[in-house]
Amino acid sequence: MARKVKEVIINDFKSRKYYSIDVDSTPDITHSDQLAFILHYASDKGVPTERFLEFIPKVGHKSLEIAESVIMTIDNLKLNISDCREKSYDTAKNMSGC
Q: How many helices (H) and strands (E) does the chain have?
A: 2, 4
- When pLDDT is averaged across residues 8-21 and rounded to a whole number, the result is 83
Q: What is the pLDDT of residue 63?
A: 81
To which H or E segment does residue 27 belong?
strand 19-27
pLDDT digits (tens, 9 = 90+) for 33-79: 788 899 999 888 889 999 999 988 877 778 888 889 989 999 998 88
- pLDDT at 90 (0 to 100): 57
Average pLDDT over residues 4-22: 84
